[in-house]
Structure 1
Amino acid sequence: MTTIYLAGPEVFLPDAMPIMAEKRRLARQFGFEPTGPGSDENQTPVKRTAAEIYARNDTAMRRAEICLANITPFRGVSADPGTVYEIGFMIALGKSVFAYTNHPDDYGQRVRSIWYAGCEIDETSGRPRGPDGIAIENHGMSDNLMIDGGSRGDGR
């Protein structure tokens, strides 16, 4: 059975345990052995140190053969930074990463509507810029091009 690391911000949700249990169930239904945060089956919530959490996740990523990452925007316009780290780590280990989002808008649209809501966007240079002069990444991708490109394996 292929081991799959389930990355994403679900661990922070108020109903994290049943959501992660359902993700593990679905992974098994499709022939994968899930690992990653919350992967212990009969896990009772235990307060762990940051070092313990990191070590468990590091071991799980190294053990997994592939990664499925939830890059739904988390506390802003982009994916959870922990999930982004896990994506990069798995890619660096030479493992395949697949990502999904539950948000319908691409990254550029989210930046415009959330970060610069109601502000004038400068389109004159051919590259959209917010009122602060900083370019808005606008490639029609779910998130930053490095996250999307890395999880697709080809940068498209």
Structure 2
Amino acid sequence: MQTIYLAGPDVFLANALEVLNKAKTLCASFGYRALTPFDGEVTDKQLLDRANQIFLENISIIDRSDIVIANCNPFRGACVDDGTSFEIGYAFAKRKIVFGYLNDKRSLPEIVNSRIPTKPHDSGYMIDNDGFLVNEDFGNSINLMLEFSMIHSGGSLVLGNLESVLKLLKTLS
């Protein structure tokens, strides 16, 4: 049985354990064993030590997984959660198959412009309040480094949800 690591900001939901347990049950119904960041052993009480232990445990879980499936919906802004982005890159570097899912496949500039304040700039692009141009219009809905990590790993970015990715995986096997 292949093992899937479920990456994403779902760990920050108020009902995270419930949501992730349902996701694990869904994966099991498709014949996969799913692991989440909550499956690590975290015992340290000091905050910095605890954070380091969470990091190391998540790395260990990704190392033990065959596939990473990442929730790539915007988190606290217009882009993929930072931790999820790291996990995608780490999984790619470890030669894992990486899939992502999101519920909005508009272009990244469209998503950014709809979620954070931007204004027109002389360059013809929009610019955000921090002075950064919104000019990465390659047709991607997420940062190109993330999406192409998925593609080059043998996975892809899927419009939909976890179940959409699991259905795709079944058709590929």
TM-score class, shorter-chain normalisation, is 0.7 to 0.9
**Alpha carbons 2:112, 2:134 under 8 Å: kept:** no
Query: Residue type matched to 2:146 in 1?
Result: I
2:94 match:
93
How far apart in 1 are the matches of 2:115 and 2:144? 18
The TM-score normalised by the length of structure 1 is 0.83
User: Gapped runs of 5+ residues in structure 1?
Assistant: none
**Alpha carbons 1:36, 1:61 under 8 Å: kept:** no
The TM-score normalised by the length of structure 2 is 0.75
How far apart in 2 are the matches of 1:135 and 1:102? 21
1:153 match:
152
Equivalence map 1:129-148=2 (5 Å) = 129-130=126-127, 132=131, 134-148=133-147
How far apart in 2 are the matches of 1:91 and 1:18? 28
1:69 match:
70
1:108 match:
109
Post-superposition Cα deviations, 1:73-121, rounded to whole Å, max 9, x if no partner, equal 000110000000000000000111000013353311012222334x225
Query: Residue type matched to 1:84 in 2?
Result: S
How far apart in 2 are the matches of 1:67 and 1:60? 10
How far apart in 2 are the matches of 1:138 and 1:153? 20
Post-superposition Cα deviations, 1:33-55, rounded to whole Å, max 9, x if no partner, equal 11131247xx9xx9771022112
How far apart in 2 are the matches of 1:69 and 1:123? 34
2:171 match:
none
**Alpha carbons 1:3, 1:32 under 8 Å: kept:** yes
1:84 match:
85
**Alpha carbons 2:6, 2:35 under 8 Å: kept:** yes
RMSD after superposition: 2.6
Greater share of residues in strand: 2
The percent identity for this pair of structures is: 33
Segments of 4+ moved more than 6 angstroms: none
User: Gapped runs of 5+ residues in structure 2?
Assistant: 158-173
How far apart in 2 are the matches of 1:5 and 1:12? 16
